[in-house]
A and B are shown apart, each in its own frame.
Chain A
Amino acid sequence: QKEVEQNSGPLSVPEGAIASLNCTYSDRGSQSFFWYRQYSGKSPELIMFIYSNGDKEDGRFTAQLNKASQYVSLLIRDSQPSDSATYLCAVNGGTYKYIFGTGTRLKVLA
């Protein structure tokens, strides 16, 4: 059974700090990795994707991928209260079949 694991949280960080969200996956054949943000009562919104080992930066967000260790992480710099949401990690093996984690709830404290 292919799995994606995330700590459910909540992860609480003060405003302005760096939030670090982690995700591990079981399928070594996974090729693409995605982070979605889901506000309470809303549908998931794509934040970033990454498919090569290393870091990928987009504004305050940095995705990190380590295929050898089978983990992917999301760093949020200068965290804002508006970043408070559930962050979903998803992986796929080159098809459109995504495997989602259960998400990590982030709370940014003002």
Chain B
Amino acid sequence: SAVISQKPSRDICQRGTSLTIQCQVDSQVTMMFWYRQQPGQSLTLIATANQGSEATYESGFVIDKFPISRPNLTFSTLTVSNMSPEDSSIYLCSVAGGGKAGNTIYFGEGSWLTVV
């Protein structure tokens, strides 16, 4: 499977500020995704990062709050805008790794954000 690196790994952010999370993959991948895992909760898909076009957002997530870039097949960014304490979460970049199941996804190391 691909090696997926995320930066920052952790950060403490001030309320009202924005933070951009970077995701770098060591090989070209077609499908990249951004997930959120709030404390004690399940993983929730925020959006699919599409190369060369706008991201596709899931219900409950909007571009103004979570703008995403995907400039090439190995890199993506997620920005968490105008943060509030409710945005304290783990943000995970993931890629589709193919495999026999076809839809297997793998996760990066995660970015732990705490908003104060």
Binding site for B on A (CB under 8 A): 4, 32, 34, 36, 41-46, 49, 51, 88, 90, 92, 94-98, 100-103
Q: CA separation between A101 and B16, bound complex, in Å?
A: 31
A-B contact count (CB 8 A): 56
**Chain B residue with the shortest CB-CB distance to A89:** B42
CA distance A103 to B42 in the complex (A): 7
Could you say which of B1, B33, B41, B108 contacts A96, with CB atoms under 8 Å apart? B33
- The distance from the CB of A83 to the nearest CB of chain B, in whole angstroms, is 19
Q: Which of B60-68, B71-79, B94-102 contacts A (4 or more CB under 8 A)?
A: B94-102
Once A32-B103, A96-B31 are accepted as A-B contacts, the answer to whether A43 and B92 lie under 8 Å apart by CB is: yes
Mask, B101-115, CB within 8 Å of A = 1, is 111111111101000
Known: A96-B31, A96-B48, A96-B96. A102 touches B41 (CB 8 A): yes
Residue of A nearest to B4 (CB): A43
C-alpha gap A94/B101 in the complex (Å): 9
- Known contacts: A88-B42, A100-B43, A102-B42. The answer to whether A43 contacts B103 by CB under 8 A is no
